[in-house]
A and B are shown apart, each in its own frame.
Chain A
Amino acid sequence: MSFTVEPCNQETVIVRIGKALDFRNAAEFKSTCQTQVRSGARNFILDFSETGILDSTGLGSIFSLYRQVSPLEGQVVFAAVSRPVQVVVQLTRTYKVFRQFPSVEAAEEALL
């Protein structure tokens, strides 16, 4: 499993989550995001359009990213949230922390 990262500009990147963000690839997600932060990114658009599972470890890795970019006045936002991911968002009430957008394009417009 791997994540696709697309730069929008120097400060904003889109991370395509793919089929799953869970305990099997959460470390890879963290490493990928840390590399982006070191390169100057502070805004992250997470594309969940293809995602069938987001588990507790995956969510924990997103919390970790949020803690990393918050002091930089960065943002982590969710885009094109699939139904399985929405179930987790509602269960954990993380909509209070992460803004959601219906599409990646809508998230880009809001952040740029």
Chain B
Amino acid sequence: MESVKQRFCELSTLVAGVHQIFDQLCGDSGGYACLDEDTFYRAKLAAHEWAANLVQHASFDNRKPEVDVDVWPNGNKIECVFEDNSDGFDLDSILEQRSNGLSPLPERGMGLLMLSACTSELSYEKTEGGIYRLRFSVHSEADPWLNIPF
């Protein structure tokens, strides 16, 4: 199956657009013919959390936002790439801080941890072209969980 990709130049349309990409992926495969349902929803959740992070927190300085999203099934996993022209941030540091510092029943701060828990082969880097690229896979065999303090 081919990938589903789309460019977004308005952040206000990003989240709904990402959902549409996954809906299209689901439709093209005749339901979940080549993907199990939970893997699909974990991938959609991970993509949603990243899109939400871009909408709520990313700095684009005075540039017009450009976000490219590419999603494709690959055997027993779903692969996803986000590329954007934001200023980026230190994802590893934030993840480490959040991992060690969540309050009991937290109201905020779970998003990137949920993204990390759902995914494997998660990478975030600045390319030679100056754009930031998040790439991740969601595997059907994975047993993800997030240790929220209760």
Q: In the complex, which of the residues A53, A60, A83, A97 contacts B107, with contact meaning CB atoms closer than 8 Å?
A: A60
The smallest beta-carbon distance between B70 and chain A, in angstroms, is 20
Query: Does A90 sit within 8 A of B, measured CB to CB?
Result: yes
What's the Cα separation between A23 and B117 when bound, in Å? 19
Given the complex, which residues of B lie within 8 Å of A97, measured CB to CB?
105, 150
The smallest beta-carbon distance between B101 and chain A, in angstroms, is 15
Q: A53-B45, A56-B111 are in contact. Are A83 and B148 (CB under 8 A)?
A: no
Instruction: Summarize B's interface: helix, strand, loop or mixed.
Output: helix
Query: Does B15 sit within 8 A of A, measured CB to CB?
Result: yes
Q: A66-B105, A91-B144 are in contact. Are A84 and B114 (CB under 8 A)?
A: no
Query: Does B58 sit within 8 A of A, measured CB to CB?
Result: no
Give the tally of cross-chain contacts (CB within 8 A).
Answer: 75
The smallest beta-carbon distance between B35 and chain A, in angstroms, is 13
Residue contact A91 to B146, C-beta cutoff 8 Å:
yes
Residue contact B41 to A83, C-beta cutoff 8 Å:
yes
Residue contact B38 to A87, C-beta cutoff 8 Å:
yes
The smallest beta-carbon distance between B128 and chain A, in angstroms, is 32
Residue contact A57 to B108, C-beta cutoff 8 Å:
yes
Q: A53-B44, A53-B45, A88-B45 are in contact. Are A63 and B111 (CB under 8 A)?
A: no
Q: In the complex, which of the residues B37, B52, B56, B110 contacts A59, with contact meaning CB atoms closer than 8 Å?
A: B110
Instruction: Summarize A's interface: helix, strand, loop or mixed.
Output: helix
Q: List 13 A-B contacts (CB under 8 A).
A: A23-B55, A23-B56, A52-B19, A56-B49, A57-B111, A60-B106, A60-B110, A63-B105, A87-B45, A91-B144, A94-B148, A96-B150, A97-B150
Q: Which 7 A-B pairs have the closest CB atoms?
A: A56-B110, A56-B111, A60-B107, A63-B105, A87-B41, A84-B41, A23-B52
Q: B residues engaging A (CB < 8 A)? A: 15, 19, 37-38, 41-42, 44-45, 48-49, 52, 55-56, 105-111, 113-114, 117-118, 144-148, 150
